[in-house]
């Protein structure tokens, strides 16, 4: 396999403004109030730790509430560090606030594709393709990519590119909207002659068969389906999770499974092996980036803090990663090293009685509530 991980630390950028709901707005103003500086921070995985599908699990709402003071001010800097995604961070923050009952800032949401922002300079004005559930093209547009199309839309410009489309009972969002106002939605650039300069797998693909077909077309032709073989354009994955815990009782196939499927097919039909770059946990750069974001979060919450000589860059003594997937969350935290401390829950992918054999966590607990309880007790005793 020639796919490789990246080790870059992204600089956080301003995100789209969040439309505050009344309750959220009140809590936001309370976040600005005076509070004590935290010497520790927490990164929560989402699927299988705080949510299963859209249902809170493991006592997550009450666990998160303990990280805020009585006034509603954030006491402990924390972020959500997930390999999932498909919608902009600002929208995910609103969704999490609604489901978990605490106000989440967009800057507290780090998704698998958040690191794609580091590639903006390179592809800002180039034709790029984005695929995955949700709104992958909107995600990339909000990061600043100006010439990005969803794979749904891109494929629709190539007649018969999907030879089994007539047997499919569903239509894509793009196909439905195209029927209502085609002229307004056709891009100003020439799809059928412009070469795709990069393809992004933003979230779990919905139509694997079609996506594998079209990506093979793009990647083997040098960026123009139907053309002769050419040099493969870069391919980026937001994450590489083989499985993840969703609403169904057993794990579901994730982006890593799609990558294996695409790679297997591509390597059989093309002379050169598939080349791709993989972002997301467990790459150490994700944890370095998370540390930087937690530091910024602590600084921004410290506007009214009475300075004791420390500045915003003062290092954390401990950063806790709470996850359910040993191969992703625990492996990543262990690789990142100090100050990361890994906590494995039994509410998701991991269900073992003892610790994981290959990637043992620093602590194994039943639920996220138990994890937060442990952290707060340990930190208050320091």
Binding interface with Mg ion (CB under 5 A):
45, 47-48, 324-325
Nearer to Mg ion, 153 or 324 (CB): 324
DSSP 328: I
Nearest approach in angstroms of CB 47 to Mg ion is 4
Nearer to Mg ion, 291 or 324 (CB): 324
DSSP 374: H
Residues 311, 37: contact at Cβ < 8 Å?
Answer: no
DSSP helix/strand/coil, 218: helix
For residues 237 and 313, give the distance between their C-alpha atoms in angstroms, rounded to a whole number.
Answer: 31
DSSP helix/strand/coil, 56: strand
| Structure tokens belonging to residue 54 | 């859209």
Residue 293 phi/psi, 5-degree rounding, is: -70, -40
Nearer to Mg ion, 45 or 204 (CB): 45
Nearer to Mg ion, 225 or 282 (CB): 282
Its sign, for the CA torsion 305, 311, 317, 322, is positive
For residues 152 and 381, give the distance between their C-alpha atoms in angstroms, rounded to a whole number.
Answer: 54
Nearer to Mg ion, 233 or 323 (CB): 323
Nearest approach in angstroms of CB 215 to Mg ion is 26
Nearer to Mg ion, 81 or 274 (CB): 81
Nearer to Mg ion, 31 or 349 (CB): 349
| Structure tokens belonging to residue 29 | 């103003």
Q: Kindly state the helix (H) or strand (E) to which residue 160 belongs, with its residue range.
A: none
DSSP 337: -
| Structure tokens belonging to residue 146 | 């100006």
Helix axes 255-269, 208-220, angle to 10 degrees: 50
Nearer to Mg ion, 89 or 324 (CB): 324
Nearest approach in angstroms of CB 355 to Mg ion is 17
Its sign, for the CA torsion 254, 289, 47, 19, is negative
Residues 117, 13: contact at Cβ < 8 Å?
Answer: yes
Nearest approach in angstroms of CB 239 to Mg ion is 11
| Structure tokens belonging to residue 117 | 């922002």
Nearest approach in angstroms of CB 48 to Mg ion is 4
Residues 64, 50: contact at Cβ < 8 Å?
Answer: yes
Nearest approach in angstroms of CB 46 to Mg ion is 7
- Residue whose C-beta lies closest to Mg ion: 48
Nearest approach in angstroms of CB 352 to Mg ion is 15
| Structure tokens belonging to residue 214 | 């079209």
Residue 217 phi/psi, 5-degree rounding, is: -60, -50
Nearer to Mg ion, 52 or 295 (CB): 52
Nearest approach in angstroms of CB 262 to Mg ion is 22
Nearest approach in angstroms of CB 111 to Mg ion is 13
């Amino acid at each position: 396999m020639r796919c490789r991980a990246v080790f870059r630390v992204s600089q956080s950028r301003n995100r789209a403004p969040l439309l505050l709901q009344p309750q959220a707005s009140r809590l936001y103003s309370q976040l600005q109030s005076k509070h004590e500086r935290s010497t520790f921070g927490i990164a929560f995985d989402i699927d299988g730790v705080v949510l299963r599908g859209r249902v809170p699990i493991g006592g997550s709402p009450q666990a998160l509430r303990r990280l805020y003071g009585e006034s509603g001010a954030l006491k402990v800097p924390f972020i959500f560090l997930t390999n999932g995604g498909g919608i902009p961070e600002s929208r995910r923050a609103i969704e999490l606030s609604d489901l978990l009952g605490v106000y989440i800032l967009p800057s507290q949401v780090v998704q698998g594709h958040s690191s794609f922002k580091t590639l903006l300079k390179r592809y800002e004005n180039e034709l790029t393709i984005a695929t995955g559930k949700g709104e992958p093209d909107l995600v990339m547009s909000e990061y600043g990519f100006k010439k990005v199309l969803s794979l749904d839309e891109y494929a629709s410009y190539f007649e018969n590119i999907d030879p089994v489309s007539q047997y499919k009972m569903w239509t894509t969002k793009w196909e439905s909207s195209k029927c209502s106002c085609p002229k307004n939605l056709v891009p100003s650039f020439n799809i059928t002659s412009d070469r795709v300069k990069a393809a992004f797998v933003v979230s779990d693909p919905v139509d694997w068969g079609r996506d594998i077909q079209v990506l093979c077309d793009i990647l083997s032709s040098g960026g123009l389906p139907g053309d002769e073989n050419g040099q493969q354009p870069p391919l980026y994955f937001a994450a590489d999770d083989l499985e993840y815990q969703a609403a169904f009782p057993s794990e579901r196939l994730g982006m890593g499974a799609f990558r294996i499927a695409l790679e297997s097919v591509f390597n059989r039909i093309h002379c050169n092996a598939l080349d791709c770059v993989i972002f997301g946990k467990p790459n150490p750069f994700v944890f370095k980036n998370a540390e930087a974001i937690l530091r910024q979060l602590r600084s921004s919450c410290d506007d009214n803090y009475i300075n004791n000589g420390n500045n915003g860059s003062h290092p954390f003594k401990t950063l806790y990663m709470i996850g359910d997937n040993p191969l992703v969350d625990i492996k990543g935290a262990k690789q990142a090293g100090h100050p990361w401390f890994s906590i494995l829950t039994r509410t998701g992918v991991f269900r073992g009685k003892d610790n994981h054999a290959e990637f043992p966590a620093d602590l194994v607990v039943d639920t996220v509530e138990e994890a937060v309880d442990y952290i707060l007790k340990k930190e208050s005793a320091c």
